Amino acid sequence: MKVLVTGGAGFVGSHACKALALSGHEPVVYDNLSRGHRDAARFGPLEIGDTADKTRVREVLERHRPDAVMHFAAFAAVGESVENPLLYYRNNVTGSAGLLEAVTEFGPLPFVFSSTCATYGVPDQVPIGEDHPQRPINPYGFSKLFVERMLADLGASHRLPWVALRYFNAAGSDPDGEIGERHDPETHLIPLVLEAARGGAPIQIFGTDYDTPDGTCIRDYVHVMDIADAHLRALDYLIAGGASGAFNLANERGHSVKEVIAAAERVCGRTVPVKIGARRAGDPPALVGTAARARAVLGWTPTRSGLDVQIADAWTWLRSRNR
Ligand code: UDP
């Protein structure tokens, strides 16, 4: 299959492209390179453009005539979304609307959407299942929820077949070291912890007064290769006529910020300098998911589920870049 991959030059998108290429598919990357990296778009043709630019999307669809779409293009930093909400609504929501307009006119094509556990907000209980109410507490979460809503509406109005994959915290990197996580500026925990381990700035812990066993936030970390694999499974599922819907991608185990730091010290064999900071606005105390639906319906089985292997892969990537 030929698959249009928006955001294919970004972190999760580039790993999905690699997985597609390894499975004999052709990813066509559509990316404006505002945060993605040209050299990460190496598994198929690259088309530069904005998702909001419906005419350009339409042109690319006509040129490549893909069989399906995977939509990753989005900003994904919770703190930034709180500080600059309109950036998120413009890029993530308006961008998705432009893309979806072009896709429904052209297709409608099977559509796999990169969603997030941030759509749940502060959970009533963990682990969180897909039927948990979605009440985001930050603009990033809302921006993704709005797109899920668009998909549900377009499913009804235009028979758009869709899957929303709500991932918990994407972590790790391609074990081959070919591609990896590279945000600029970096805001995510694991890469910042590893930078600190290499002698960079100390990692600042955002809050030690949460109602969790060690006072720091708990997240469920999922390896980016496992996430990429789930996208392929979702695609096959839709092509086989599976019903549209949402699936969590989670390892069903939570790790606190302090546990992540301890794991990094173990994996890297180095001390990680730490600074205690205030809570970051928009952070729920604990997010842990259940992925029973993805396991049962998509046959998804994460293979790199431990924190140590995720950190080890991220560490290999980081060191290969800055030798
Ligand atoms: N975090 C932190 N210091 C940092 C970056 C993140 O303490 O410099 C915490 C953050 O508050 C959250 C967890 O690490 O509880 C994961 O944050 P990240 O930004 O990686 O992902 P998010 O959960 O926001 O999607």
Question: Mean pLDDT of residues grouped by 10 in the chain (323 residues)?
Answer: 98 98 98 97 98 98 98 96 98 98 96 98 96 98 98 98 98 95 92 96 98 98 98 98 98 98 97 97 95 98 96 95 66
Cβ neighbours around 286 below 10 Å, total: 19
* Interval 92-102: pLDDT, tens: 999 999 999 99
Answer yes or no: are the C-beta atoms of 286 and 126 closer than 8 Å.
yes
Q: Indicate the DSSP class of residue 135.
A: B
Q: Is 29 helix (H, G, I), strand (E, B) or coil?
A: strand
Atom of ligand 1 nearest to the CA of 280: 11
Tally Cβ neighbours within 10 Å of residue 117.
26
Residue of 83, 116, 220, 257 to mutate, ligand 1, most atoms within 8 A of C-beta: 257
Cα(188) to centroid(ligand 1), Å: 6
Which are the catalytic amino acids? Answer: 140
Residue nearest (by alpha carbon) to ligand 1 atom 18: 188
User: Could you tell me which of 35, 32, 29 has the C-alpha nearest to residue 11?
Assistant: 35
Q: In terms of DSSP H, where are the helices of 31-138? A: 54-64, 78-83, 85-88, 95-106
Q: Where does 7-156 show beta strands of DSSP type E?
A: 26-31, 46-48, 68-71, 111-116
Name the residue with the closest Cα to ligand 1, atom 4: 189
Q: Is 188 in the pocket of ligand 1 (CB under 6 A)?
A: yes
Q: Is the Cβ atom of 187 under 6 angstroms away from ligand 1?
A: yes
* Residue 295 DSSP one-character state: I
Determine how β-strand 218-219 pairs with β-strand 255-256: antiparallel
- Residue 191: other Cβ atoms inside 10 A: 21
Q: What is the CA radius of gyration of the chain?
A: 19
Query: What is the predicted pLDDT for the residue at 321?
Result: 82
Residue 323 has a pLDDT of: 47
Number of alpha carbons in the 13 Å side-chain half-sphere of residue 51: 27
Mean confidence (pLDDT) of the chain? 97
- Alpha carbon nearest to ligand 1 atom 6, residue: 189
Q: Which of 75, 189, 210 to mutate to test the pocket of ligand 1 (most atoms within 8 A of CB)?
A: 189
Closest approach atom of ligand 1 to CA 287 = 23
